[in-house]
Structure 1
């Protein structure tokens, strides 16, 4: 980070936000293309101009198992102004709110997507020019995979939009067999090198008082090594799959343990999960967290989980930040991952048996979450 010494942490995080926002802009087109393909505007129009996600699914003939994913697409389309959304009133709000009770309405923009919209001169409907401009987007693998995903009649375990567009191959398999085309591990190491000095500078107190920490799915140990260097008395261990640990560097200040986070996690004061949970669905996350809970002592003995991940909608009210978060959610949807808001996180935390949590939104699009047993 010496190269960036002239910049503050917030300047660096804002610069990262700018680059991510620009890079993910493609998914605005993907979301709009999906709206046209599934005839979402037509469905809302047919339902009187306002509808919930379950109503849209039924009207458009989309399998109800796609409710959560369509809600994620609608989140992008509302943040970008294509549709508007009305939240349930406080009196009627309940757990159903997280399952499609928001009411989506047509705007002037989405009204142009309705297929029966024609001028008094009998001209072609306005959506055709938009459809033409989206053709390049529709042809790319990410877009093809998501389109195919919504047209599936049922949820097939383990199948992802990415796999649908890549002959059944998962992102992890592609990264393992062709790291030149998909440099996943290098990208994660790069992100760690950028983010961890900022974490330690801005929120290093989350590691104070710990005597041991296990970095789950920590790869070659970049994050753990940075923490260990800042806290020499803190014993840091990296847990990852055997094939990863076999390639880990020697002579570092961290210990490597081969294993599987879905099976067992080594005991420690704290468990560290950087950029891991968003890769997995709720059931998998609950399983990981239950294993984490077994690995740490009670809260009064210093036990906790430290998570670095997105909390959609947390932090300053910055439209670019929120838009980047929901666009990243469409990216991660390709791999069956999820970017969660606070209510989504709270659900899996409590289901895994944890009692309390604290969100610290100081890492740009991401937050630090302290989770307590």
Structure 2
């Protein structure tokens, strides 16, 4: 073992401490989403820097601004928020170093933070954050090592007694959140794709494998209403059972590892 006083060993110790505490990042992000902080700061596009106390007054009737500020500061270090240091002074001299001066921390959204803002369709990446931190999923993470010890049973099954999608199928709230999460991820990507890609032109029957609620097919149909005659939204039965009715889209349940509906073109998105 090398000398413990070297700079490389110091950096290594700091790095492992950060990794050991990394759970604080997604859990803090989860808290911010549950408190609807991004929408409060965004306020229809204002994105005015606000203090923790100001944010709290917009999202809750009461609460602890100090704890909220700790969460905001930590996520600011990961680029979710921008921290603004405002020096206030009772004398009006903002450069004063007297004891009457104080620093107020305010926060606005970065580009990363803006992904959590609810858009005109009621979508954002917020549902995706929540979906990945539901209790049933969190219970499985401490058992990841079991996948090495005994690969015959998934950690999720060991934690919850059944496979993930079976569990989702019995929990309408989980299934609904997953659909919203997939829409929140898929819709922005599809907007960007359709702005510069015309590969769906001329396709009459289009199959979306793992299409969740069918949002992508809906958007493609809107762009090619005269040429695209049918969209097949193919996903697990318990997923498409909750998908909304969309003109031109047929929801088909099944297992892609066994068979996939035929079409002029088939596409798949991977966001898991």
TM-score band (shorter)? 0.3 to 0.5
Greater CA radius of gyration, 1 or 2? 2
Tell me: higher relative CO, structure 1 or 2? Use CA pairs within 8 A at least 6 residues apart: 1
TM-score normalised by the chain length of structure 1: 0.34
